[in-house]
């Protein structure tokens, strides 16, 4: 069944389907949704609707705002089966991953329902006698959200939930290939009683969405996507005095030391590198392995990779779904060719996998014998591909791990507390994982990276208010 989608502007449904078709990457004969394509005038209406609705919303009690997020969370939980299936059908992650992402979005909404009440300032004595000084956090106003297809409901939820909890209105431009699950988020918020105009959903080209960085009515822009696009938005936002939050690429290292438990190292690498078809900005794309375990690790990992079941995302036996689009597949295949051309060895995978349906199935690939300068170790591929860099010891491993323009997540597998401590202290990354995959994060703690991976305040958890509110300092001369 094909879903006909509409923009959501000020509580109205505008345009129906037609312009853009999104197809199931596991079965290209399955037309998942048709989406209208909006223009600058539509975006303008959405921003105007947000501007009209936001002051009343900000004036409501935080409890009333939290109640609505709670109700939306409950609706998502009730529909996790149905919506998880839709997510898998639309994006290609497995059914288990799709359902758990919907649950994750629900829990994020619930968490921020509570956070609405926990927004606090500080009261202090002034340096001048007789004066009390206090801070309070106020909403920004209108926030523009631009989100990717790889977590097509969790990321919109983790941006929109704190925005709404803290009294803002949002305009969301979701990824073009996953519009249906983004609409499901609009549905539950509307059904939960969110007043019109606070969550506007526009299907517009990226260049049109980028105008939010220039529009005086928009106070901030939160973006997750590629470093190239993020940096262009940052330049425009800076020129217009806007707050910006960017979550961009990664080239996340997973260090495997001689003292690692081999089974654990393989399990951590499999999950971090290949689950979600490697299409996570937190994926472990560089496996940095010390001499003493290198050959055993590569042999055990390739054996485990050969057993991964690649196939239709909705088949419950599938462990690795298709990659999300033809464009993704072409990029990944181009990088595999570059890796081999630059001297890497394809230890396994990389080939197209044939299944009963026509989809973008790719066997997870491991490239061995790579050096840090190779393009596969410097550029984000965003697919089920990991490369192995062999190093003599922990010092060399740290140098290679940090020798990247990116710095999102960094992992180590070791049984030594001392080695783990050294790595925690020296990894240039926003998140460090010890004996755990670089991907797969909690929602109640800060998320973000260093260097080219992120810009602006951290997302999620107890950090989220840093972006979605501004501080007002109030002096009272009693
Ligand atoms: C996760 O690893 O659990 O786009 C989340 C991404 C990240 C989210 C990763 N912003 O892959």
Nearest atom, ligand 1, residue 279 CA: 11
Strand partners of residue 392: none
Q: Which residues of 142-166 are buried (b: 16+ CB within 10 A; e: fewer)?
A: bbbbbbbbbbbbbbbbbbbbbbbbb
pLDDT the model gives residue 431 = 98
pLDDT the model gives residue 369 = 98
Closest CA to 92 of 329, 268, 282, 266: 329
Tell me the average pLDDT across 88-103: 98
Residue with tokens 């529009």: 215
Residue 133 alpha carbon to ligand 1 centre in Å: 39
The residue to mutate among 91, 104, 108, 155, having the most atoms of ligand 1 within 8 angstroms of its beta carbon, is 155
CATH number, position 96: 3.40.605.10
Is 447 domain-assigned? Answer: no
Nearest atom, ligand 1, residue 280 CA: 11
* 316 and 209 both lie in a single domain: no
Residue 124 alpha carbon to ligand 1 centre in Å: 38
Please tell me if the CB atom of residue 226 comes closer than 6 angstroms to any atom of ligand 1.
no
Residue 341 alpha carbon to ligand 1 centre in Å: 30
Please tell me if the CB atom of residue 244 comes closer than 6 angstroms to any atom of ligand 1.
no
Tell me the average pLDDT across 97-108: 98
Tell me the average pLDDT across 34-52: 97
Alpha carbon distances (Å) from 85 to 61, 95, 157, 282, 452: 36, 6, 18, 23, 34
Would the pLDDT of 292 be above 90? Answer: yes
Contact 423, 432 (CB under 8 A): yes
Closest CA to 247 of 161, 103, 148: 148
pLDDT the model gives residue 350 = 97
pLDDT the model gives residue 329 = 97
* 13 and 150 both lie in a single domain: yes
Instruction: Report residue 17's pLDDT band, with 50, 70 and 90 as the boundaries.
Output: low
Please tell me if the CB atom of residue 280 comes closer than 6 angstroms to any atom of ligand 1.
yes
How are strands ordered across the β-sheet holding 199-201?
A: 12-14, 7-9, 199-201, 169-173, 142-146, 220-224, 243-247, 454-455
* 212 and 69 both lie in a single domain: yes
pLDDT the model gives residue 19 = 84
* 49 and 140 both lie in a single domain: yes
DSSP element (H, E) containing 296:
helix 291-306
pLDDT the model gives residue 478 = 81
* Residue 343: both structure tokens together: 């001297």
> How many structural domains are present in the chain?
2
Contact 86, 180 (CB under 8 A): yes
Please tell me if the CB atom of residue 148 comes closer than 6 angstroms to any atom of ligand 1.
yes
CA gap 427, 419 in Å, rounded? 12
CA gap 227, 316 in Å, rounded? 34
Instruction: Report residue 116's pLDDT band, with 50, 70 and 90 as the boundaries.
Output: very high
How many residues does the structure list for the chain?
A: 478
Residue 354 alpha carbon to ligand 1 centre in Å: 28
Residue with tokens 């909006």: 38
Strand partners of residue 410: 432
Please tell me if the CB atom of residue 282 comes closer than 6 angstroms to any atom of ligand 1.
yes
pLDDT in tens, 48-85: 999 999 999 999 999 999 999 999 999 999 999 999 99
Strand partners of residue 7: 14
Is 304 domain-assigned? Answer: yes
Catalytic residue among 115, 247, 333, 380: 247
- Helix segments in 176-311, DSSP class H: 179-191, 206-209, 227-239, 262-274, 291-306
Is 442 domain-assigned? Answer: no
* 216 and 291 both lie in a single domain: no
Instruction: Report residue 346's pLDDT band, with 50, 70 and 90 as the boundaries.
Output: very high
Tell me the average pLDDT across 227-248: 96
SS3 149: coil
Please tell me if the CB atom of residue 151 comes closer than 6 angstroms to any atom of ligand 1.
yes
Is 446 domain-assigned? Answer: no
ipTM computed for the complex: 0.92
Give residue 319's domain range: 252-434
Is 293 domain-assigned? Answer: yes
pLDDT in tens, 130-176: 999 999 999 999 999 999 999 999 999 999 999 999 999 999 999 99
pLDDT the model gives residue 395 = 98
Contact 319, 362 (CB under 8 A): no
Is 329 domain-assigned? Answer: yes
- Per-chain mean pLDDT for the chain: 97
* Residue 158: both structure tokens together: 């983790």
Cβ-Cβ contacts under 8 Å for 51 (sequence gap 6 or more) = 141, 142, 169, 217
Closest CA to 181 of 223, 220, 145, 147: 147
* 192 and 213 both lie in a single domain: yes
Cβ count within 10 A of residue 478:
5
Residue 360 alpha carbon to ligand 1 centre in Å: 21
Residue with tokens 């994060």: 441
Is 413 domain-assigned? Answer: yes
pLDDT the model gives residue 134 = 97
Q: Is 247 a catalytic residue?
A: yes
Please tell me if the CB atom of residue 285 comes closer than 6 angstroms to any atom of ligand 1.
no
DSSP element (H, E) containing 243:
strand 243-247
* 150 and 183 both lie in a single domain: yes
Please tell me if the CB atom of residue 91 comes closer than 6 angstroms to any atom of ligand 1.
no
* 271 and 215 both lie in a single domain: no
Contact 67, 237 (CB under 8 A): no
Please tell me if the CB atom of residue 281 comes closer than 6 angstroms to any atom of ligand 1.
yes
* 170 and 51 both lie in a single domain: yes
Dihedral-angle region of residue 11 (phi above 0 means left; psi in -120 to 50 means alpha; beta otherwise) = left
CATH number, position 333: 3.40.309.10
pLDDT in tens, 177-208: 999 999 999 999 999 999 999 999 999 999 99
Residue 13 alpha carbon to ligand 1 centre in Å: 30
* 260 and 362 both lie in a single domain: yes
Is 440 domain-assigned? Answer: no
Cβ count within 10 A of residue 347:
19
CA gap 14, 106 in Å, rounded? 26
Percentage of the chain exceeding pLDDT 90: 99
Contact 8, 182 (CB under 8 A): no
* 195 and 233 both lie in a single domain: yes
CA gap 412, 331 in Å, rounded? 28
DSSP 392-439: SSHHHHHHHHH-SSEESEEEEE-S-HHHHHHHHHH--SSEEEESS-SS
Closest CA to 247 of 467, 457, 462, 453: 453
pLDDT the model gives residue 360 = 98
Tell me the average pLDDT across 233-258: 97
Determine which residue's CA is closest to atom 4 belonging to ligand 1. 281
* 200 and 276 both lie in a single domain: no
């Amino acid at each position: 069944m094909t879903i006909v989608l509409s923009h959501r502007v000020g509580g109205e449904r505008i345009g129906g389907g037609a312009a853009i078709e999104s197809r199931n990457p596991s079965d290209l004969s399955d037309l998942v949704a048709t989406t209208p394509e909006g223009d600058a005038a539509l975006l303008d209406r959405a921003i105007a609707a947000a501007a009209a609705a936001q002051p009343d919303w900000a004036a409501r009690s935080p409890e009333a705002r939290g109640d609505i997020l709670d109700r939306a969370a409950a609706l998502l939980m009730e529909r996790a089966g149905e919506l998880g299936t839709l997510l898998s059908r639309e994006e290609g992650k497995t059914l288990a991953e799709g359902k758990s992402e919907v649950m994750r979005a629900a829990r994020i909404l619930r968490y921020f329902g509570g956070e609405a009440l926990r927004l606090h300032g500080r009261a202090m004595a002034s340096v001048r006698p007789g004066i009390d000084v206090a801070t309070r956090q106020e909403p920004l106003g209108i926030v523009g959200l631009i989100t990717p297809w790889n977590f097509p409901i969790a990321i919109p939820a983790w941006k929109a939930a704190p925005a709404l909890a803290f009294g803002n209105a949002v305009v969301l431009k979701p990824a073009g290939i996953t519009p249906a699950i983004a609409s499901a988020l609009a549905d539950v918020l509307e059904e939960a009683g969110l007043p019109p105009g606070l969550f506007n959903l526009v299907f517009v080209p990226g260049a049109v969405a980028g105008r939010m960085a220039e529009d005086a009515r928009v106070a901030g822009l939160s973006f997750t996507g590629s470093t190239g696009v993020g940096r262009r938005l940052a330049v425009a936002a800076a020129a217009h005095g806007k707050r910006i939050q960017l979550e961009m690429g990664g080239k996340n290292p997973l260090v495997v030391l001689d003292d690692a438990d081999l089974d654990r190292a393989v399990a951590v690498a499999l999950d971090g590198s290949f689950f979600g078809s490697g299409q996570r900005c937190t994926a472990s794309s560089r496996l940095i392995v010390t001499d003493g375990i290198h050959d055993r690790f590569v042999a055990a990992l390739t054996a485990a990779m050969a057993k991964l079941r690649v196939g239709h995302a909705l088949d419950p036996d599938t462990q690795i779904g298709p990659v999300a689009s033809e464009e993704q597949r072409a990029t990944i295949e181009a990088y595999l060719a570059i890796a081999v051309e630059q001297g890497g060895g394809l230890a396994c995978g990389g080939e197209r996998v044939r299944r009963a349906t026509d989809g973008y199935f790719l066997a997870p690939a491991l490239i061995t014998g790579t050096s840090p300068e190779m393009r596969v170790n410097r550029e984000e591929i965003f697919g089920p591909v990991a490369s192995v860099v062999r190093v003599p010891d922990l010092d060399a491993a740290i140098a290679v791990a940090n020798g990247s323009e990116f710095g999102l997540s960094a992992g180590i597998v070791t049984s030594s507390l001392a080695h783990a401590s050294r790595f925690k202290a020296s990894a240039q990354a926003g998140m460090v994982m010890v004996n755990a995959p670089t991907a797969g994060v909690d929602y109640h703690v800060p998320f973000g990276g260093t260097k080219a991976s992120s810009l602006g305040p951290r997302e999620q958890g107890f950090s989220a208010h840093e972006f979605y509110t501004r501080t007002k300092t109030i002096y009272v001369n009693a």
